[in-house]
Structure 1
Amino acid sequence: MSLIVIAFLGGVFTVLSPCILPVVPFVFARSDRPFATERLPLFAGLAGAFALVTGIGVAGLAGAAQLNQYGRWIALATLALFGAALLLPSLAERLTRPLSALADRIVARSQTQGTTRRIASSILLGAATGLLWAPCAGPILGVIFTGAALHGANWHTAAALAAYAVGAASSLAIASSLGKRALDRVKRTLGVGEHVRRAMGALVVLSVAAIATGLDTRLLALIPGTPTNGIESRLVGVLNAKHTPHDARPGARMMRVSMPSTLPVQGRLPSLDGATTWLNTAPLSADALRGKVVVVNFWTYSCINCLRTLPYLRTWSQRYRDDGLVVIGVHTPEFGFERDTGNVKRALANLNIGYPVAVDNAYDIWRAFGNQYWPAFYIVDAQGRVRFHHFGEGGYREAEDAIRQLLADNGKPMPSHDAQTVQGSGTQAAADPANIGSDETYVGYAQAQGFASPQRVKRDTVDTYSLPAQLPLNDWALSGKWNVGAESAVPAAAQARIAFRFHARDLHLVLAPSTDGKPVRFRVTIDGAAPGASHGADIAADGTGVVTNARLYQLVRQSGAVEDRTFEIEFLDPGAQAYSFTFG
């Protein structure tokens, strides 16, 4: 329920976003009409179309991207016709004779026919507006999409999408009411009702032209930031605190857990039978683990927050293995390449992981635990009871204390224990939380935020993009020929670039080579120069590197003061797959 309420509030605040500006003229063009029979149906159609289109995308139905593109052009044609009718009534009257019954209902008779047809006309215009508004997704929609990807589309997803749409429609309705009052005052004062109507028609036609040519996207790129994103991000933080289903890597990275003197029983160890396969061990079961203290860690190998927990897991496994501790990694993938068992095996070797790992490609173990987070720890006693859990990074001392207490309860005397520092290197080194001013950012269109190229994204199609004149903090852009897919973006030619204005000590990018496995060369710059001493673990000081396999690459580790920087990566060969940025 909390997700639905917060989704509604996120929709309400969408009216503050510059992204919604292109659809405002279509709403205001009917602000002088009666509310019950004209404007209310308009907003109902807008909310319904938005929820339907985004719902199709969340469900992952085949052809969803193409359907959205066709719907967009149909919507533009419908609204252009509406604008022409407002601007030139005589032209509309001549056009109505050869037009289809649909267009006739929408334009020619919207003022002269009965209530039913006026309502139907308004709903249809609202639906057209909703199709154009659908790409205006904020952080809360990203949470909804992620939850659907992890757990499947269900009634919670549908209700959250509907709540988001209703919230946005409600705030637009309030803005429309204010606009109606202003228009009524202008008409009474100046007696220019006909001129106002024609001006609205001209504005609608110009808006259609701007959207059709991509001019709206280029203009919006000049507006600094999106005010509503900060508000929505704070609402997402509320979701984090409530443990609402979502990927907790950004929000829960430093969650602390107080350690009670007696660990409560939190449930039983669920079945581990859903594993696709087991690595580093024969298949394990809950019954076979009875008599052992068990740490179950949910992770995925391209997750930076998960990688930073590995030094602790390895240390615990080595330190307490002879005392009866079993550490189990449950590898539950996020990206498609993480479902490849060969990739996971390679990651285990590279990350020096020798403890058992269950490959959970079907999310069966994830669902059995009711888990919502990467990373997550569950600590189980020798009787098979869950006694401790922790979500996100941090809480390592408390977790180790729980391990030691449960081992002692199982008859293994624990000597006095002084806190020992666990050190990681490269991507496994501890983050610098005081200087993290940038959040995880996806490059694929399904969850992308902060995209600032002047051109509108052409989904699943090769197109040419360019960098804006200025790149605001936490915005990113493409340059050159790219094919932007739902999960990743792929350079279609050499010299294609990604630029990101960020604030953090470390910058990472999840990359994969071309689909045929061919390595891809790249070069990184920071503020237009080679990174030098600020190069990450996966590149040289001159910024050069090679994408050899699908994983997370550390590209920047600032050696001096952490400031706002502009990162650029240029792919010297086509075919690389870029998934998401993370910071530390």
Structure 2
Amino acid sequence: MDTQPSLLAAIREAVRGPGWAPGRRPAGGRMPPLDGATGWLNSPPLTTEGLRGRVVAVDFWTYTCINWLRTVPYVRAWADAYRDAGLVVVGVHTPEFPFEHDVDNVRRAIEDRRITYPVALDADYGVWTAFTNMYWPALYVVDADGRIRYTHFGEGAYEESEQVIRQLLAEAGAGDGLPPPVTVDADGIEAAADWAALGSAETYLGAERTENLASPERATTGSPRRYTAPARLAPGSWALAGEWTVQPDAVRLDGPGGGIAYRFTARDLHLVMTPPSSGTPVRFGVRLDGAPPGADSGDDVDDDGAGTVREPRLYHLVRQNGPVAERTFEITFLDPGVQAYAVTFG
């Protein structure tokens, strides 16, 4: 974020850098205040004091994070199943990319993900800082006395997290009124990653954190330059083709016909993209090993590989339906102005 560049750099390094190891850390302490929120959606402003007597699950997220997108079916299910038993789920949307500060974008994401529980907008990282949080996603479960009894960072541990929620609700007096544990059948972009076949790591495309750029031209930050893609890419490397401006946190296409190529191993490939500031849609085509993806197309492309960038979000471009193999992904944009931020896998 422009307002807190040093904090953002530290967060990015901690959250999704090479040393990121999601999991639990010792719980303890009181639930911090929520008054750092810059706004609220789905609810009037909530306070820590006003939540006393309820079990609270605080879920930190940012809407383009694939790790969070794969956890939201569980958080959503817990909110629905245990609301009447005394659970309050509070989502805290702390943005990573500049466009995630836009309230309308967050509101659209909430609708897309069918989120009905309260969401605190944390544009200034006030709630994040109060919790000394460093991860997307991060779950903090607070008992009815306001004590943090459980934390989990990253994906997974869903049964364990739900058991803690049930235990704390029972302690708060829910007793025999608890429903059975939830059953979650996630699909589409929310489906769990194929961890056994996942061989590629998330890659940022902007100059601040990019690596493995294989275009022979030296990247020039802040000014347009024509790039070319090599005939072959090494595993985990990527390339630009066409006229692009490399920015600190993204790459922007300055003319039609440019593209991005990536050599990857994963079931799913996603790309965080935004249309031009004018909002003009950007058409694109996807190829896998030089051919249309067909049955291996993601949710945001058809079998011929055609799609359109209409709003700022994460786009699901590839889902290999057969055995996962190393593939070359190429996306070519028919229109200029698109900005691409990060490639993620699943």
Task: Provide the TM-score with structure 1 as the length reference.
Answer: 0.57
Partner of 2:175: 413
Counterpart contact for 2:14–2:20, Cα < 8 Å = no
Match of 1:247 among 12, 15, 24: 15
Deviation at 1:353, TM superposition (A): 0.7
Classify the secondary structure of the residue corresponding to 2:84.
helix
- Please state if 1:443 is matched with 2:302: no
Shift in CA distance, 314/253, structure 1 to aligned 2, threshold 3 Å: farther
Classify the secondary structure of the residue corresponding to 2:201.
coil
Give me the whole-angstrom Cα distance separating, in 2, the residues matched to 1:466 and 1:551: 26
Match of 1:317 among 79, 99, 105: 79
The answer to which structure has the higher strand fraction is: 2
Deviation at 1:421, TM superposition (A): 3.7
Counterpart contact for 1:245–1:372, Cα < 8 Å = no
| Match runs of 1:127-526 below 5 Å | 148-149=7-8, 246-248=14-16, 255=23, 266-414=28-176, 420-526=182-288
Which residue identity is paired with 1:505? Answer: R
CA shift digits 1:519-558 (9 cap, x unpaired):
1000000000000000001110100000010000000000
Counterpart contact for 1:147–1:245, Cα < 8 Å = no
Shift in CA distance, 357/417, structure 1 to aligned 2, threshold 3 Å: closer
Deviation at 1:576, TM superposition (A): 0.7
Which residue identity is paired with 1:246? Answer: A
Give me the whole-angstrom Cα distance separating, in 1, the residues matched to 2:252 and 2:27: 48
Give me the whole-angstrom Cα distance separating, in 2, the residues matched to 1:526 and 1:354: 37
Classify the secondary structure of the residue corresponding to 1:500.
strand
Counterpart contact for 2:142–2:150, Cα < 8 Å = yes
Larger radius of gyration: 1
Which residue identity is paired with 2:94? Answer: T
CA shift digits 1:210-236 (9 cap, x unpaired):
xxxxxxxxxxxxxxxxxxxxxxxxxxx
The share of aligned pairs that are identical, in percent, is 51
Deviation at 1:517, TM superposition (A): 0.7
Counterpart contact for 1:250–1:440, Cα < 8 Å = no
Counterpart contact for 2:60–2:94, Cα < 8 Å = yes
Which residue identity is paired with 2:171? Answer: D
Deviation at 1:426, TM superposition (A): 1.4
Classify the secondary structure of the residue corresponding to 1:312.
helix
Unaligned runs of 5+ in 1: 1-58, 62-144, 153-243, 259-263
Deviation at 1:265, TM superposition (A): 6.1
Counterpart contact for 2:77–2:182, Cα < 8 Å = no
Which residue identity is paired with 1:339? Answer: H
Classify the secondary structure of the residue corresponding to 1:338.
helix
Shift in CA distance, 442/350, structure 1 to aligned 2, threshold 3 Å: same
Give me the whole-angstrom Cα distance separating, in 2, the residues matched to 1:466 and 1:360: 40
Runs of 4+ in 1 over 4 A off after TM superposition: 248-254, 414-420
Deviation at 1:254, TM superposition (A): 6.5
Q: How many matched pairs? A: 346
Deviation at 1:490, TM superposition (A): 1.0
Shift in CA distance, 146/394, structure 1 to aligned 2, threshold 3 Å: farther
Shift in CA distance, 265/304, structure 1 to aligned 2, threshold 3 Å: closer
CA shift digits 1:439-468 (9 cap, x unpaired):
110111111011000000111111100011
Give me the whole-angstrom Cα distance separating, in 2, the residues matched to 1:500 and 1:397: 35
Partner of 2:298: 536
| Match runs of 1:88-127 below 5 Å | none
Which residue identity is paired with 1:518? Answer: T
Shift in CA distance, 519/326, structure 1 to aligned 2, threshold 3 Å: same
Classify the secondary structure of the residue corresponding to 1:468.
coil
Classify the secondary structure of the residue corresponding to 1:347.
helix
Partner of 1:235: none
Task: Provide the TM-score with structure 2 as the length reference.
Answer: 0.95
